[in-house]
Amino acid sequence: MQTYGRLPVRFVRGEGAWVEDDSGTRYLDGLSGIAVCGLGHAHPAVAAAVAEQARTLVHTSNLYHLPLQEKLAARLCEVSGMDRVFFCNSGAEANEAAIKLARLYGHNRGIDEPRILVLDNAFHGRTMATLTATGNRKAQQGFEPLLPGFTRVPFNDLPAIAAALAEDPSIVAVLLEPVQGEGGVRVPGKGYLDGVRLLCDQHACLMMCDEVQTGIGRTGRWFAFQHNSARPDVLTSAKGLGNGVPIGACLARGAAADTLQPGSHGSTFGGNPLASAAALAVLETLQRERLTERAEQLGRHLLDAFRQELADLPGVRDIRGRGLMLGIELDRPCGELVAEALADQLLINVTAGQTIRLLPPLILSDAEAEQLIRQMVRLVRRFLA
Ligand SMILES: *Cc1c(COP(=O)(O)O)cnc(C)c1O
């Protein structure tokens, strides 16, 4: 169906930070399939794991124990500090699991109509519950009735969260992205996540971090919450987890981890041997090649370079980001930059109308990073001239 306005290009193969179209033209990938291919394209470790698993066992359902899923769950818990994992196939599904978990958690505490606090400009997915949680009226338009049970407050506003929680004892959870992605690469102020944690503790609320975009090394930590001392009760992951093989995960710790019980949630495909093998290869490779550290160091370099080369332009409003999640906000809508970059053999994205979003692969080399800087600076300068 016509759910996407597609760019006029057909990619047929990729390698590392490059993709190639059907005429043999190569493009530098500054987007990684929207924060998915963190290890770049056709990574040998992921390719080998998928091929080997396809020859061994692809799927059995979740009616049986799955050793690879258990191994992946243990590894994810190790790097995140969580206790249990529910596996599914996408970011939206991971957030659906978190929303259902929060509601059940509320009901178990005698709250008949539990509510979840969400933020302006949030993005949590396109299913009915995650679309309701998403703070974008345009995405919701035409899909009413939305779900009940959500309260919305402004982003990066601790007093607003404090007031909402004080006023409404039926709020059982706060769902937020540590860095808003689709909402415009918005980084909250220092102390924000720790403040949310404190408020959640005071009001017996679950703190739920949507790390579908920010997780798996992207911001320079395994998960972006790890830049702070606060740890969420529930954590969702997807995008980068399988490097392009569909997989999602909802992680939880403490009482939250024991909320869902047999029969209360499920997924046919979730965490099957093929997807688990891919994700295990991703986590192993990230660790072995120290790509999380690389994302932090490279991200700082890109941020510095863009600030140095672009901050003097009056049309550049802000340059921000964390690790390899970067935003260049202009003072005007700049959607056409995506096509201009494509014509220049560079893949980028514009989100929230006027913010250029870069999500390059974590394996980007120094030379590729310099090329990305050069091309972006030229594009932005030309666009604003
Ligand atoms: C992409 C994204 C989602 C949705 O993931 P899908 O796999 O497209 O369902 C949810 N939350 C955040 C923060 C995202 O960036």
Distance between CA 225 and CA 218 in Å, rounded?
A: 12
CA pair distance 275, 5, nearest whole angstrom:
29
Asked if 145 and 173 sit in the same domain, the reply is yes
CATH of the domain at 227: 3.40.640.10
Contacts of residue 304, Cβ cutoff 8 Å, sequence gap at least 6: none
Q: Per-residue pLDDT tens for 230-274? A: 999 999 999 999 999 999 999 999 999 999 999 999 999 999 999
Burial group, residue 205, by CB count within 10 angstroms (0-12, 13-18, 19+) = buried
- The single residue of 87, 210, 223, 233 carrying the catalytic annotation is 210
Same domain, 212 and 122: yes
Pocket-testing residue among 212, 219, 349, ligand 1, by greatest number of atoms within 8 A of Cβ: 212
**Confidence (pLDDT) at 266:** 98
Query: Which of 265, 288, 311 marks a domain boundary?
Result: 288
From 182, 211, 267, 322, mutation site for ligand 1 pocket: most ligand atoms within 8 A of C-beta: 182
Let me know if 190 is a catalytic residue: no
Q: At 318, is the pLDDT very low, low, confident or very high (cuts 50, 70, 90)?
A: very high
State the Cα–Cα distance between residues 268 and 263, nearest whole angstrom: 13
Do 150 and 184 reside in the same domain of the chain? yes
The verdict on residue 67 lying in a domain is yes
Q: Are residues 224 and 298 in the same domain?
A: no
pLDDT of residue 94: 99
- Give the CA count within 13 Å in the CB-facing half-sphere of 111: 19
Let me know whether 215 and 269 are in one domain. Answer: yes
Write out the DSSP string of 290-323: THHHHHHHHHHHHHHHHHHHHTT-TTEEEEEEET
For the Cβ of 177 lying below 6 angstroms from any atom of ligand 1, the answer is yes
Angle 332-224-99 from CA coordinates, rounded to 5°? 90
Specify whether 337 is located in the same domain as 324.
yes
210 is known as an active-site residue: yes
Residues 241 and 310 in one domain: no
Kindly indicate the confidence band of residue 154, based on its pLDDT and cuts at 50, 70 and 90: very high
Asked whether residue 266 falls in the same domain as residue 368, the answer is no
Indicate whether 212 belongs to any domain: yes
pLDDT at residue 221, rounded to an integer: 98
- For residue 158, how far is its CA from the centre of ligand 1 (angstroms)? 24
Residue 253: its pLDDT value, please?
A: 98
34 CA closest ligand 1 atom index: 1
User: Which residues 6+ apart lie within 8 Å of 22 measured at CB?
Assistant: 10, 11, 12
135 lines ligand 1 (CB under 6 A): no
Same domain, 212 and 305: no
Question: Is residue 35 domain-resident?
Answer: no
- Which residue in this structure is represented by tokens 């370079």? 305
Domain-ending residue, one of 288, 323, 346: 288
* CATH classification of the domain holding 329: 3.90.1150.10
Model pLDDT for residues 85-115, shown as the tens digit of each residue: 999 999 999 999 999 999 999 999 999 999 9
Mean pLDDT of 351-374: 98
Mean pLDDT of the chain: 98
The pLDDT tens digits of the residues spanning 178-235 come to 999 999 999 999 999 999 999 999 999 999 999 999 999 999 999 999 999 999 999 9
Question: Do 64 and 178 belong to one domain?
Answer: yes
Shared-domain flag, residues 235 and 279: yes
Position 316 scores a pLDDT of: 98
Please compute the mean of the pLDDT values over residues 339-359 and round it to a whole number.
98
Q: Quick one: pLDDT at residue 277?
A: 98
Domain that includes residue 125, residue range: 44-288
How many domains, in total, are found in the chain?
2
Q: Is residue 227 part of a domain?
A: yes
CA dihedral 154, 121, 292, 276 (to 10 degrees): 120
Is 331 noted as a catalytic residue in this protein?
no
